[in-house]
Chains A and B, each alone.
Chain A
Amino acid sequence: MTKTPLLEMKNITKTFPGVKALDNVFLRIFAGGVMALLGENGAGKSTLMKILSGVYTKDSGEILYNGKPLTVRDPKDAQNKGIAIIHQELNLIPELTVSENIFLGREPVNSFGKIKYSEMNSLAAEYLGRLGEKTSPSEKVASLSVGQAQMVEIAKALSMNAEVIIMDEPTDSLTDVETENLFKVINELKNDGKALVYISHKLSEVFEVCDRATILRDGTFVDEKPVSELDEESIIQLMVGRPLLERYPRSECRLGEIIFEAEGMTNQLVRDISFQVRRGEVVGIAGLMGSGRSEVAKTIFGVLPLISGEMRLEGKQLKVSHPADAISEGISYVSEDRKQLGLILGMTIKENITLPALKKYQNAFRHVSYDKETETSQEYIKKMSIKTTGPSQKVVNLSGGNQQKVAIAKGVVTEPKVLILDEPTRGVDVGAKKEIYELINLLKADGMGIILISSELPEILGMSDRILVMSGGRIAGEIVKADATQEKIMALAISGLTQTA
């Protein structure tokens, strides 16, 4: 396995206004191997990959491909040179079909320039088939789930027949079955002699599919080692620079009176949902994607209408027809999709954090006090250790994990009675995860009732007092913390599924 790398990045340096994102970083990618690229959010993984795929240009350093210097002008150029990247953010065009997306810019045409749809569709079906994905190639991407769209994105990379394939958090929105299919394909690609880079926060996946690991910290190169010489603890230590004691630092907290109650909550997407949340309690909601978890949250928050049933907050009937009503009643929702639904990327950290609570920052003459806003956001930056140049930095320039912290700060700034966290640690590294868990502990100690929606079972098990498992829009069962296991949750999660899941 020791041989010369197919592609080598040497002494790569990249500076953004105010930040040195990469400082003399190295990366070697081997044919027939999977290199894990590990590091906390903001360590520079995505920046490094964006340089390789031509999205950014490097300030200095060199890239060798087959031993020869390589310049990548733009993403198209990278594709032509055999480098394909599957981005963390989905880059598909919703109104085009699956096959149109896969072959965008490379459509097979006849001599009159007409696109050969049947050929394109059958090729697309073939690539999807390799991934075990049954989506029809002529379906519009807009109608796919996030997980399915991710599979299309992967199929697109496969269709380019690239020699180097970069996967940035590919399993973030995939179900377990989809993940397994992806791993099979990764192994096939390896056997075909392709060179892969795999970025993930899920360390268990790194051990499953990667051969070697490169670790970055704060934009610098830390180490490169065979995965067989590493374990979770040593990786975390290399990533964070210090040992991390506990993954799920759940604190015990006395439960108070019932603060939120749903009874027979029903609409087009969820049916007959009844549950209670107490002060100081974390109620986990587990279930497969599409089981109605987020829809329960959106109904409570006034995004989806309540058709029948009732909700009560502190014993009083709760009527919400707009998120603004929910916020003023004392309910907050942190969405699973921070880029589309959570944040206004072009605005600054402080403008984002104070947006839901802007009323509090007005003084006489309805004048918004910038000083008060800065003060509050500085508090949150400190409390949640958001890595930033300051409250006036634009959110778009933050790394994923730090963006997530800003999104959560937005949920907390209104001082809600009930906080709904939907996938609060998606795409977030271990260090930042722990900080988010610690914040949950603080909030529940203050008497907040928390609803935690997550696809990560260890997280649900580690942080919840009680777990509701959803399936097909209903609550399939409830498990108390003491009895909860991953197996019990999964059994309930698939209990209500018919073949058409």
Chain B
Amino acid sequence: MKMTVKEFLIRFRPLLGLLILAVIVSLLSPRFLTVSNILNVLRQTSINAVMAAGMTFVILTGGIDLSVGSILAICGAVAAFMIANGFDPYISIATTLLLGTVLGAFAGVIITKGKVQPFIATLVAMTLLRGATLVFTDGRPISTGFDEASDVFSWFGTGYILGVPVPVFIMLLVFAVSYYILKYTRFGRYVYAVGGNEEASRLSGVRVNRVKTAVYAISGLLSALAGIIITARLSSAQPTAGAGYELDAIAAVVLGGTSLAGGVGTIFGTLIGALIIGILNNALNLMNVSSYYQMIAKGAVILIAVLMDRKK
């Protein structure tokens, strides 16, 4: 397919934004463009990026998931608890992922069968699960301990393959699989269709409730995965982990050009969006900007990006 320059620019605007940001940052801070710093940025981005991938599925159907940060926290706590109590690390991980999926699916059922708005349903889930995490951990961090199982587990957060951090591989795998699902499977097409027009999709034989439940399950699964990465990295689970992460995940999706109204967007865009946020955080740290001003800077950049995206 032939593309004009203008169409090309519109299509790859998020990528262009990322490149411009990278150039500016590398000019401002010489330490930015070093291999170790780039790997560092990628690893720091991976947690938000993995959650944002799940969020992309949800937002494409026209929904929203505010519970991701709380799912991350409770799943991280459960994983740490299991490791500390001598469970096999792989069984612990599988159980944690299953828990995240079930929690997400449960929110999906409340939304579809209970006909509750996604914002409200996931807001409730966010509050409930945060409370549950605090009860479960008694408000204290859970350490994974120092045995062999703990070492195996912590590899998922701290390990390297060919010099590249494991979380970065996990992130790339998540995006590759998500890309395939959204672009080439029937389910992926249904996700876009439901976001485009729910009623017309139903009349076209799409089982809308199943699709919607599934996207929240996916979001829950990937939040659990993010919880595992963060817990493995710190060798302990914090009861307040992931608080506010839902907003970073949503910001990544929106920066990537996905419409909050549903039906339009790409997973590739979300990866770019997550990287923009990651680089921004990193750059502000490198430049020793105080964390108070960091928030202002981050808000301003997101605002500019979203305003630019309006002008099509």
Contact = CB atoms under 8 A, between A and B. Distances in A.
Contacts of B204: 323, 327, 355-356, 410
Interface string A350-371: 0100011011001000111000
Contact of B200 (A326, A343, A367): A343
A341 B199 contact: yes
B196 interface: yes
B193 A344 contact: yes
B189 A358 contact: yes
Contacts of A344: 193, 196-197, 200-201, 263
A163 to B, nearest CB: 35
Interface in B184-241: 184-186, 188-190, 192-193, 196-197, 199-207
B201 A355 contact: yes
B264 interface: yes
A426 to B, nearest CB: 16
Contact of A368 (B185, B196, B197, B205): B185
Given A346-B263, A366-B186, A323 B205 contact: yes
B162 to A, nearest CB: 28
A346 B201 CA distance: 12
A322 interface: yes
B263 A335 contact: no
B207 A322 contact: yes
A96 interface: no
A269 interface: no
A333 interface: yes
Q: For chain A, give the interface size range.
A: 20 to 34
Contacts of A341: 199-200, 203
B212 to A, nearest CB: 14
A345 interface: yes
A323 B199 CA distance: 11
Given A340-B199, A346-B263, A346-B264, A324 B207 contact: yes
B192 A333 contact: no
Contact of B205 (A324, A340, A345, A392): A324
A347 to B, nearest CB: 6
Interface in A381-411: 392, 410
Counting chain A CB atoms within 10 Å of each CB, the highest count among B186, B190, B197, B203 belongs to: B203
Given A322-B207, A342-B203, A355 B185 contact: no
Counting chain B CB atoms within 10 Å of each CB, the highest count among A327, A328, A366 belongs to: A366
Contacts of A25: none
Contacts of A347: 192-193, 196, 263
Interface string A111-131: 000000000000000000000
Interface residues of B, number: 22
Contacts of B192: 347, 351
A342 B200 contact: yes
A303 interface: yes
B203 A362 contact: no
Nearest to B207: A324
Contacts of A345: 196-197
Counting chain B CB atoms within 10 Å of each CB, the highest count among A333, A346, A362 belongs to: A346
Contacts of B189: 351, 355, 358, 368
Contacts of A356: 204-205
Contacts of B201: 344, 355
A355 B184 contact: no
A356 B204 CA distance: 5
A333 B203 CA distance: 8
Given A346-B264, A356-B204, A356-B205, A368 B184 contact: yes
Contacts of A358: 186, 189-190
A335 B203 contact: yes
Contacts of B202: 303, 322-323
A362 B189 CA distance: 12
Counting chain A CB atoms within 10 Å of each CB, the highest count among B197, B205, B264 belongs to: B205
A366 B196 contact: no
A368 B192 CA distance: 14
A356 B206 CA distance: 7
Given A323-B202, A335-B203, A343 B197 contact: yes
A135 B203 CA distance: 31
Contacts of B203: 301, 303, 323, 333, 335, 341-342
A367 B196 contact: no
B205 A327 contact: yes
Contact of A367 (B1, B185, B199, B205): B185
Contacts of A410: 204
B205 A366 contact: no
Contacts of B197: 340, 343-346
Nearest to B181: A366
B192 to A, nearest CB: 7
Given A322-B207, A327-B205, A359 B186 contact: yes
Contacts of A324: 205-207
A327 B189 CA distance: 18
Interface string A13-40: 0000000000000000000000000000
Given A322-B205, A340-B199, A342-B200, 10 more contacts: A322-B202, A323-B203, A324-B206, A333-B203, A340-B197, A342-B203, A347-B192, A362-B186, A367-B184, A367-B185
The 7 A-B residue pairs with the shortest CB-CB distance, nearest first, are A344-B196, A327-B205, A324-B205, A344-B197, A356-B204, A355-B204, A346-B196
Interface of A: 301, 303, 322-324, 326-328, 333, 335, 340-347, 351, 355-356, 358-359, 362, 366-368, 392, 410, 414
27 contacts: A301-B203, A322-B202, A322-B205, A324-B206, A326-B205, A328-B205, A335-B203, A340-B197, A342-B200, A342-B203, A343-B197, A343-B200, A344-B196, A346-B197, A346-B264, A347-B192, A347-B196, A351-B192, A355-B189, A358-B189, A359-B186, A362-B186, A367-B184, A367-B185, A368-B185, A368-B188, A392-B1
